[in-house]
A and B are shown apart, each in its own frame.
Chain A
């Protein structure tokens, strides 16, 4: 770490600092707070990117981009619009999806999906140790959805597909897919007691 970085350093964040306090410190250039933020959320960021991209090397690249972006635009975070975790997840997921779409013609991915879907079966809960309870909660909540709701959400969120692609994959009309994605997420929201 060079001298400039040392000068920027302020008192270490208390380990109990709330996420938004931590991010406020990050916005002021505090690298130690950023390190703490990393420890809290790198697994979630990396996990969702890997879920969408699958390739570990690419996932690591994109995770680095997202985390550095979080550092760069920390001052833009607005607590009114959601938690720090949601902010990071939204950035990570969107970046992963953008990468996947820029890389492959959608046609190609549609042809690949039957295979992928097979592998993805039952993969919602992976091996990492963090927050077992939350995984269980998500799995239970997904279990309350209709097949179409669940498939539409999984193909879009974990598969990185547009709803048009999902419509083609499921052989369901566009309007139906659009609606199922929305009412499925609303049902998940209620099942998990999510508030923004």
Chain B
């Protein structure tokens, strides 16, 4: 899980991640203090590799650079105290520019994703229609409960469950993408047994929505484990996510 992301710190410091992984790692980095410390040190180490390649630039470069900075407006510092005062005017400009930058990046990713997705779009539409119908059924059921998924920091999830309908829908975000040799598998946990409720199809953004239609009447909990690709008949590891259905 996160251990998998931790090990990317070296490749990140050496700029050896592709743009999507770089973004994913930076999202992780924002929340992981031990990685921040490690990345600081490894980037400083990489800087030593850079220094070992130092080479005098062409003589004209300094003049060109000095001439260009003379024409280049500097970014304002981000000052927390000033934020309120600036919000009305000056701060708006860089923020809006940043939003446009983010929007452009999102759009670029969306365009790439679209190309890859178009083929499977029909299948996805069917899935979405099914999910939508299940959610409608849950919203209409009189006994539907919302339960939290318990798990590591960074994963946020809920389960909507109706025993009357014999239906539950799990939704979670923040799941790490697993290597090809592993899958997330969902289990309906009874008093005496684990019954598989299928492999979780995690989207590239780490989110998943998954319906459970069987075994809920006698279930006491739901659990998600990491299993070899394709899943296991019985869990081979401890659940990383659980939801208590016994209440």
Contact = CB atoms under 8 A, between A and B. Distances in A.
Interface of A: 1-2, 5, 27, 29, 31, 34-35, 38, 42-48, 50-51, 56, 60, 63-64, 67-68, 71-76, 81-83, 85-86, 89-90, 92-94, 97, 124-128, 130-131, 134-135, 137-139, 141, 153, 156-158, 160-164, 166, 174-175, 178-179, 181-186, 188-189, 192, 194-196
A156 B15 contact: yes
B16 A162 contact: yes
B92 interface: no
Contacts of B40: 81-82, 86, 196
15 contacts: A35-B62, A38-B66, A44-B53, A46-B54, A47-B53, A64-B61, A67-B65, A72-B72, A82-B44, A90-B47, A126-B55, A153-B14, A153-B49, A156-B14, A164-B18
A86 B44 CA distance: 5
Counting chain B CB atoms within 10 Å of each CB, the highest count among A44, A178, A185 belongs to A185
A36 to B, nearest CB: 11
B125 to A, nearest CB: 32
Specify the main secondary structure of chain A where it touches its partner.
helix
A195 B43 CA distance: 10
Contacts of B77: 27, 75-76
B49 to A, nearest CB: 5
Nearest to B57: A46
Interface of B: 7-11, 13-18, 37, 40-58, 61-62, 64-66, 68-70, 72-78, 179
B64 to A, nearest CB: 6
B191 to A, nearest CB: 39
A5 B61 contact: no
A194 to B, nearest CB: 5
A19 to B, nearest CB: 12
A97 B50 contact: no
A183 B76 CA distance: 38
A188 B52 CA distance: 13
Nearest to B54: A47
B10 A181 contact: yes
A47 B69 contact: no
Counting chain A CB atoms within 10 Å of each CB, the highest count among B9, B49, B61 belongs to B49
A156 B16 contact: yes
B192 to A, nearest CB: 37
Contact of A162 (B17, B48, B55): B17
